[in-house]
Amino acid sequence: MKKKVVYIIGQLSVGGSEKYILNLVTHLDKTQFTSHVICLSEFLELQPNLESIGCKVHILKKFKYLNKIRSIFALIAILKKLQPDIVETIGWASYYSIIACSLAKIDNIIVTSRDIPNWKKWHHLLADKILLKKAKVAIFNSNQVRKHTWINLGLPIDRTVVIYSALDISEFEKSQNKGVSEPIPKINVQKANSPVLCIVANLTPIKSIDTVIKAHSLLVKNHPKAQLLIIGQGTMKPQLNDLVVKLNIANNVQFLGRRNDVPAILKNVDVAVLSSISEGASNSILEYMAASLPIVATNVGGTPELITHNKTGLLVPSKSPQELYKAITELLENEQLMIKLGQQAREKVEEKFSMGKMINDTKQIYLSLE
The domain locations on the chain are 3-166+354-368, 169-352
Cβ-based neighbours of 17, under 8 Å, separated by 6 or more: 9, 90, 91, 112, 114, 115
Look at residue 292 in the predicted model and tell me its pLDDT: 95
Q: Are 85 and 110 in contact (CB under 8 A)?
A: no
Q: Are 271 and 331 in contact (CB under 8 A)?
A: yes
Banded pLDDT at 173 (limits 50, 70, 90): confident
Domains 3-166+354-368 and 169-352 are alike in CATH topology: yes
Look at residue 320 in the predicted model and tell me its pLDDT: 97
* CATH number, domain 3-166+354-368: 3.40.50.2000
Look at residue 189 in the predicted model and tell me its pLDDT: 46
Banded pLDDT at 66 (limits 50, 70, 90): low
pLDDT in tens, 93-147: 999 999 999 999 999 999 999 988 878 888 999 999 999 999 999 999 999 999 9
Question: How many Cα atoms are found within 13 Å in the side-chain-facing hemisphere of 30?
Answer: 8
Asked: is 169-352 a CATH 3.40.50.9100 domain? The reply is: no
pLDDT in tens, 189-222: 455 578 999 999 999 999 999 999 999 999 999 9
Query: How many residues comprise the chain?
Result: 370
Banded pLDDT at 16 (limits 50, 70, 90): confident
pLDDT of residue 247 exceeding 60, the answer is: yes
